Amino acid sequence: MYNEHSLFEYNVGHSVEWNMTAVDNLRLHAAVILVLLVVVGLSVATWFLAPKGDNQTVWRSSIILTLAMCYLMWAITYLSQLHPLIQPMRSDLRPEFAEGY
């Protein structure tokens, strides 16, 4: 039923059709929102649990900015893998058939 290229199909028009339903697509994108909520929760906790003293603002700023930047790097990497700018290329084609890809 499934062959080795069951994740996507290759068309003559060079477009890739992903065999994903709308629910699968929503589930993949929900991870970004879920992690955002976790980061926001940790940031709020940091705001209230930062050590008191002269450097409280430095602690808060450092931890919250670190959480925000780590989230941005993760989200950009995750989303760029879900929606690549360059379509996948087949490597199992003979050279005379690979020119169109």
Report the C-alpha gap between 40 and 1 in whole angstroms. 44
Residues (pLDDT < 70) of the chain are: 1-20, 88-90, 93, 97-101
Residues 6+ apart with CB under 8 A from 87: 14, 15, 16
Give me the pLDDT at residue 51, please: 92
Give the dihedral sign, CA 32/38/40/42.
negative
The answer to whether the beta carbons of residues 78 and 70 sit under 8 Å apart is no
Token representation of residue 63: 């931890």
> What does the pLDDT look like over 36-45, one tens digit per residue?
999 999 999 9
Q: pLDDT at position 82, please?
A: 83
Domain boundaries, the chain: 36-82
Taking the C-alpha atoms of residue 35 and residue 13, their distance in angstroms, rounded to an integer, is: 37
Residue 99 has a pLDDT of: 63
pLDDT at residue number 39: 98
Instruction: Report if pTM > 0.75.
Output: no
